[in-house]
Amino acid sequence: MTDEIYIRLDNYNDYFCPGDTIRGRVECNFSTEKEIRVIQVKFKGVCCTSWIETEKYYDDFFKEERTKEITYSGEEIYFYERYNLSGPGQLRVAPGQYYYPFRYTLPRELPTSYEGNFTTAKASITYIVKAKINCPGTGDTKAVREIVVMSPLNLNLMPEIKKPIEISIDKEVCSCWCNGNNSVSFTFTLPSTGYIVGQDVRIGAYVQNMTNINVDGIRFKISQITERNKEIIVDCTERGVGAHGEKSWTSILPLPANNPCHNLVSCSLINVTYRLKAELFLPCPHTNLVSSLPLIIGHVPFTDFDRNNFLLGPLNGRDLNRMPNFNTNLDSRVYSFPDMQLEEQAPPTYEEAKSLFRQS
């Protein structure tokens, strides 16, 4: 029978938050009498990245230019602490089971645990508790326990993203069936550029088509972007607008409640961003109207915020009193939402919305 070592955590409930205290014990099972040099526990938080890039070089033997792959790596350590649980000097213990308690308080600023595997790159943020027994003349007996750190992003700490935004795009379109150029204009507004996981992103939109061609359709999409990867997390497509027509409406993009939306503000090696792209499709040979803007997706919502302001179009019968589909599986101490009861009211018209923007 061999010696065994286990890490038992007393207060681990799926994840820890920055500033939490990890409490637990190292459990040791000895099959024979042992002389122990040290029983140690280690706490470590680290970000590791690696990626492959191609580089051209001249091969003197073959007398030609070739390409080779070079692997790069990076590391960022957030904390690294070791503690001796057995005290000074060596111990002699009889066969049996022994417990050595420990506690460690996490730093208050940590990025969320992360794992990303892409075609030419890998990245991870991991947090581990590691224990070992060192006995003279024998190898170390070790145990490792990985924990998940969830770092909530509070939108209230970024007041600039609470402001409404309006984007307008215009295009002169030349048609063979008219004597001059006519324009198509596309305007869309958002009540803010900050949202939380599970919330609906409401986009007020207005298209004025003064040309002889039809607008084929309008598409909104939100993408999650890293250095080596781009993924659409939600999108919607609206019907087009006929020649010499206009249309106003509200598009709704529900952010997935199961998207982790990692808070990596404290990490300098991994950057995850979100962008909203709006595209108005025109028939060939005309080019589409395209615009995009960054969004912040967090976990703690704005307080005292009317998310229905600055919408251009009707809400198509949506229930304004319905709370956003927040992730109810997450710890309420991190996701504490204010009472967001909203009165049933019609959104402002396009002219009213324009007036509100001029006042803001």
CATH of the domain at 112: 2.60.40.640
Give me the pLDDT at residue 14, please: 76
How many structural domains is the chain composed of?
2
Q: Say if residue 275's pLDDT is above 80.
A: yes
Q: What is the pLDDT of residues 69-104, one digit of tens each?
A: 999 999 999 999 999 998 888 888 999 999 999 999
Of 92, 125, 147, which one is at a domain's C-terminal end? 147
Q: Say if residue 312's pLDDT is above 50.
A: no
Q: Say if residue 330's pLDDT is above 60.
A: no
Let me know whether 141 and 231 are in one domain.
no
- Kindly state the percentage of the chain with pLDDT values over 90: 63
Let me know whether 105 and 135 are in one domain.
yes
According to DSSP, the β-strands at 245-254 and 200-209 are antiparallel
Q: What is the pTM of this model?
A: 0.76
**Per-residue pLDDT band at 1 (split at 50, 70, 90):** low
Let me know whether 236 and 99 are in one domain.
no
Give me the pLDDT at residue 332, please: 35
Average pLDDT over residues 136-143: 85
Let me know whether 204 and 245 are in one domain.
yes
**Per-residue pLDDT band at 43 (split at 50, 70, 90):** very high
Of 147, 181, 207, which one is at a domain's C-terminal end? 147
Let me know whether 191 and 54 are in one domain.
no
**pLDDT, greater one: 338 or 236:** 236
Domain extent for 89 = 4-147
- Kindly state the percentage of the chain with pLDDT values over 70: 82
Let me know whether 167 and 136 are in one domain.
no
> Using CA of residue 9, residue 11, residue 15, residue 18, what is the dihedral sign?
negative
**Which is nearest to 167 in space by CA: 312, 293, 313?**
293
Query: How many C-beta atoms lie closer than 10 Å to residue 288's C-beta?
Result: 17
Least confident of 55-64, 179-188, 266-275: 179-188
Let me know whether 204 and 90 are in one domain.
no
Q: What is the pLDDT of residues 164-220, one digit of tens each?
A: 999 999 988 876 555 556 899 999 999 999 999 999 999 999 999 999 999 999 999
Give me the pLDDT at residue 126, please: 97
Let me know whether 73 and 203 are in one domain.
no
**pLDDT, greater one: 66 or 335:** 66
| Three-class SS of 188-247 | EEECCCEEECCCEEEEEEEEEECCCCCEEEEEEEEEEEECCEEEEEEEEEEEEECCCEEE
Let me know whether 141 and 165 are in one domain.
no
Of 147, 168, 184, which one is at a domain's C-terminal end? 147
Let me know whether 331 and 186 are in one domain.
yes
Average pLDDT over residues 271-282: 96
Let me know whether 221 and 333 are in one domain.
yes
Let me know whether 197 and 143 are in one domain.
no
